[in-house]
Amino acid sequence: MMLPASHPPVAAPKVGVLLVNLGTPDAPNTAAVRRYLAEFLSDRRVVEIPSLIWKPILHGIILRTRPAKSAANYAKVWMDEGSPLAVYTNRQASALQSRLGSAIDVRVAMRYGQPAIASQLSAMKADGCNRILVAPLYPQYSGATTATVVDEVGRALAAMRWQPALRTLPAYHDDPAHIAALATRLKTQLAELDFEPDAIVASFHGMPERTLQLGDPYHCHCQKTARLLSEALGKPLTIAFQSRFGRAKWLEPSTEDTIKRLANEGKKRVAIFAPGFSADCLETLEELAMLGMEQFEEAGGEHYAYLPCLNDSEPGMDMLETLIRRELSGWL
């Protein structure tokens, strides 16, 4: 049907998929990292300290000291195409777009920094996406990751006159497709090592321990991923929690203590991987692959290997395609 000339344009309807990850600075320098950390660490889902107490600490101490140190770390892992987190997330989106075909519009947004969730949702709606699946790329649910993405999506929808219909991908920590992808990838990676590890460490991003008492399922989700994966591999996994931030007690054992303990116990050959990260990033490439190796060798360890995340590997993309197609059922 032809629209009258005075009618605003209406795009042909289609389905959209928005892959969302945490976000990352747009350059490995102090100013860009400060901008990123200011947004990230102002999120009340991430730092659950009353504003009156937290704001002076954030602006008076953290944003004056941390950006330079973190920028130096970002510089160590920066790729020609940009920050690893953004590079791998974009590659996942292109691979998924090829697998799903052009009838579905696959895009990327970041919870902090660019491309922002609100601008991507608006652009997708303007291009005709009247049904959108938002997929936070966090296997394990936490208030600080999955929930804050959904909060931000809600704020974006609140500003739209004509909203798209919306679905969100649930946490997939125990999904058979996720466990199979991790197991397949890990088997290949372990087979390629030039040593047989005495221990394999599954390092998850930490959270304040208090969040577990308050009912956040993150800790349980991490434990379950590791248990199912260990069963699938037929090998024991040592669980640890990395990237401690702030003074509160965090989930234990910490990755640093675990690496040192293993070396002290005579486990001289260790492989470590990060099943809570869908894409490699600062926390895996610098903290686990670089710093972790130094800590292990200083404690007397001899062979240390960091095994990269699923990223856009075949097993990782098989999993993502399975999960996304399942969530799109009835829409295709």
Ligand X SMILES: C=CC1=C(C)c2cc3[nH]c(cc4nc(cc5[nH]c(cc1n2)c(C)c5CCC(=O)O)C(CCC(=O)O)=C4C)c(C)c3C=C
Binding-site residue set for Fe(2+): 205, 283
| Interactions with ligand X, residue window 145-204 (CB under 6 A) | 145
Structure tokens at 170: 């649930």
| Interactions with ligand X, residue window 115-144 (CB under 6 A) | 138, 142, 144
Q: How many amino acids of this chain bind ligand X (CB under 6 A)?
A: 23
Strand partners, 200: 271
Nearest CB to Fe ion, comparing residues 107 and 219:
219
Residue 66 binding ligand X, by CB under 6 A: yes
Output the CA angle 176-251-240, nearest 5 degrees.
Answer: 55
Residue 207 binding ligand X, by CB under 6 A: yes
Choose the one of ligand X, Fe ion, none that binds residue 186, judging by a C-beta under 5 to 8 angstroms depending on kind.
none
Quote the least distance from Cβ 212 to Fe ion, whole Å: 7
Contact, 153 vs 166, CB < 8 A?
Answer: yes
Q: How far apart are CA 216 and CA 206, in angstroms?
A: 12
Structure tokens at 50: 């009353």
Of 218, 131, 209, 189, the C-alpha closest to 307 is 189
Stretch that binds Fe ion, among 212-220, 257-265, 297-305, 319-327 (CB under 5 A): 212-220
Residue 226 binding ligand X, by CB under 6 A: no
b/e map 122-149, b = 16+ CB within 10 Å: eebbeeebbbbbbbbbbbbbbbbbbebb
Quote the least distance from Cβ 28 to ligand X, whole Å: 10
Residue 70 binding ligand X, by CB under 6 A: yes
Quote the least distance from Cβ 211 to ligand X, whole Å: 7
Number of other CB atoms surrounding residue 171 within 10 Å: 19
* Residue number closest to Fe ion, CB atom: 220
Residue 220 binding Fe ion, by CB under 5 A: yes
311 to each of 87, 141, 185, 283, how far by Cα in Å? 9, 19, 10, 14
Choose the one of Fe ion, ligand X, none that binds residue 138, judging by a C-beta under 5 to 8 angstroms depending on kind.
ligand X
| Interactions with Fe ion, residue window 11-70 (CB under 5 A) | none
Residue 108 binding ligand X, by CB under 6 A: no
Nearest CB to ligand X, comparing residues 110 and 129:
110
Contact track, ligand X, 24-43, x by CB under 6 A: x------------x------
Residue written as token pair 């390092």: 203
State how far Cα 260 lies from the chain centre: 26
| Interactions with ligand X, residue window 252-291 (CB under 6 A) | 276-277, 281-283
Nearest CB to ligand X, comparing residues 92 and 129:
92
Quote the least distance from Cβ 280 to ligand X, whole Å: 8
Choose the one of Fe ion, ligand X, none that binds residue 230, judging by a C-beta under 5 to 8 angstroms depending on kind.
none
Residue 15 binding ligand X, by CB under 6 A: no
Nearest CB to Fe ion, comparing residues 251 and 310:
251
Stretch that binds Fe ion, among 94-102, 178-186, 211-219, 270-278 (CB under 5 A): 211-219
Residues within the interface to ligand X (CB under 6 A): 22, 24, 37, 46-47, 66, 70, 83, 85, 138, 142, 144-145, 205, 207-208, 243, 245, 276-277, 281-283
Give the interface with Fe ion as residue ranges (CB under 5 A).
Answer: 219-220
